[in-house]
Amino acid sequence: MSSIELSDDVASLEAGLDALDKPVTLREPLAARLRRSVLPPVVAVAFLVAVWLVVVALHLKPTYVIPTPADVWASLGQYWSEGAVQEAVWNSLRRAFVGFAVAAVVGTALGLLMSQFRFVRTAIGPLVSGLQSLPSVAWVPAAIIWFGLSDGAIYMVVLLGAVPSIANGLLSGVSQVPPLYLRVGRVLGARGFTAIRYVVLPAAMPGYLGGLRQGWAFAWRSLMAAELITFSPALGTSLGQLLQIGRELSDMSLVMAAILLILVVGVGIELLVFSPIERRMLRARGLNVGPT
């Protein structure tokens, strides 16, 4: 039949066009990618350590004020052998994860409510944005008065630090969803909660993930402020508490070791958890991954 011939003809035509038109995506080889993304930060860290060594060598201040990298390393080793470092990192991470998880639930619910109901958005939008710029350490005195020197006080500060970022991230993600996607969703029969589940939330994912990422940074920061001030032996060793012990003992090596630990854990979670998720999501959507 001629119609079958014709249809076969279209098929081969299309196959040819597809082969010609399909966008070509090149992927950098692993070695090149590592060289491009890992080498610069390693050089930067080496440079900072070098500057540090020069400053120490100049004898501007005695070594109990500016300790050498070796002193800091030794201090770290000592507290490690006592088990204090492991306990501190574990306690702080545990609190950060629990606090962040609760903040994610609350922030997501808040962000969804704000995105779906104009009244809620107008009513509490400015408040949430305002909270985002309020340093959460400002909540520590209130938290201690309400909850005493307890985990409760710490969690309150972490939540108030992280929730606004997550809610605002989701809100901005939803507001950037192309209206065309919503129309397509409606045509396909997605309404109400189904539309949120299958269209709005996935489409808003880039903004939402950005909010979660910022929420994590705020949670970690708030946690350190809270642990530093909410000082009680009953709470166990934590990174914030290591800082406080170092200050009381005037042990600058310990203080710097604690700062490094806080930095390493914060950056580590960012690099090991959030960056890969974000990169994968953006790449899957064909969006620019940007500098990493």
Q: Which of 14, 49, 63, 148 binds another protein (CB under 8 A)?
A: 14
Q: How far is the CB of 192 from another protein (least distance, A)?
A: 12
Q: How far is the CB of 174 from another protein (least distance, A)?
A: 14
Count of residues interacting with another protein (CB under 8 A):
34
Nearest alpha-carbon partner for 120 in 130, 109, 104? 109
> Is residue 13 near another protein by the rule CB under 8 A?
yes
Determine the interface stretch with another protein among 12-20, 26-34, 91-99, 216-224 (rule: CB under 8 A): 12-20
Q: Which of 186, 267, 279, 292 binds another protein (CB under 8 A)?
A: 186
In this structure, is the dihedral angle defined by the CA atoms of residues 43, 49, 51 and 54, taken in order, positive or negative? negative
> Is residue 198 near another protein by the rule CB under 8 A?
yes
Non-local CB neighbours of 144 within 8 Å, separated by 6+ positions: 153, 229, 230
- CA-to-CA distance for 201 and 195, rounded, in angstroms? 9
Q: How far is the CB of 118 from another protein (least distance, A)?
A: 19
In this structure, is the dihedral angle defined by the CA atoms of residues 87, 88, 89 and 93, taken in order, positive or negative? positive
Q: Which of 1, 21, 26, 59 binds another protein (CB under 8 A)?
A: 21
Contact at 8 Å (CB) between 288 and 235? no
User: What would the two tokens of residue 198 be?
Assistant: 């299958």
Q: Which of 76, 140, 170, 205 binds another protein (CB under 8 A)?
A: 205
Nearest alpha-carbon partner for 201 in 96, 108, 90, 99? 108
> Is residue 82 near another protein by the rule CB under 8 A?
no
> Is residue 289 near another protein by the rule CB under 8 A?
no
> Is residue 197 near another protein by the rule CB under 8 A?
no
- CA-to-CA distance for 258 and 263, rounded, in angstroms? 9
> Is residue 15 near another protein by the rule CB under 8 A?
yes
Q: Which is nearer to another protein, 90 or 181 (CB)?
A: 181
Q: Which of 181, 236, 259, 274 binds another protein (CB under 8 A)?
A: 181
Nearest alpha-carbon partner for 160 in 129, 130, 139? 139
How many other β-carbons are positioned within 10 Å of the β-carbon of residue 212?
26
Contact at 8 Å (CB) between 104 and 166? yes
Q: Which is nearer to another protein, 189 or 233 (CB)?
A: 189
- Site residues, another protein (CB under 8 A): 3, 6-7, 10-11, 13-15, 17-18, 21-23, 25, 180-181, 183-184, 186-190, 194, 198-199, 202-203, 205, 281, 284-287
